Amino acid sequence: MRVSPGPGAPQGLFIPDRELQEQFSRASGPGGQGVNTTDSRVQLSIDLATTTALNERQRQRALANLRPRLAGTVLTITASEHRSQRRNRSVARQRLSALLREAVAPPVVRRPTKPTRGSQRRRLERKRARSEIKKSRKRPSGY
């Protein structure tokens, strides 16, 4: 399986098919007569700790970024929205590809900036205006 190039993987990634595990099962939900006879749901799994597709830095990023989705170090993608097993297989592979491309990307570092003089002035003007609105809600001083 090929993962297209992106940040963190400038040449892209190639995942050997032997490292991907596919399981097929019956999808739930509507589907007519074929729903009980075809195994159209696809579960695609890859063990991020042992895959040869990632170098050590990419592996660490992927494990850290995908931690909530992992079972140990195994990432599993499920696709069952199509009635065809072949279409569900391609959807699962596309999702896995997109997820890995995002996961190995380095974090975007925000460059600290100063607010402009105009934005500071506008902020203070809005604060003064809001303060005046709140002051006008008070009871008059004669009560």
CATH code, 12: 3.30.160.20
Residue 123 above 70 pLDDT? yes
Domain extent for 6: 2-103
Q: Is residue 8 part of a domain?
A: yes
In a domain, 112, yes or no: no
- Fill in the DSSP letter of residue 136: T
Query: Does residue 15 lie in a domain region?
Result: yes
| Count of domains for the chain | 1
Is there a domain that residue 126 lies in? no
pLDDT in tens, 37-92: 677 889 999 999 898 888 899 899 999 999 999 899 999 999 988 888 899 999 99
Specify if 127 maps to a domain.
Answer: no
CA–CA distance, 36 with 25 (Å, rounded to integer): 10
For 11-38, what is each residue's pLDDT tens digit? 888 888 898 898 888 766 665 555 556 7
Decide if 117 is inside a domain: no
Residue 97 within any structural domain of the chain = yes
pTM strictly above 0.85: no
Is position 130 within any domain?
no
Q: Cα–Cα distance between 24 and 80 in angstroms, integer? A: 10
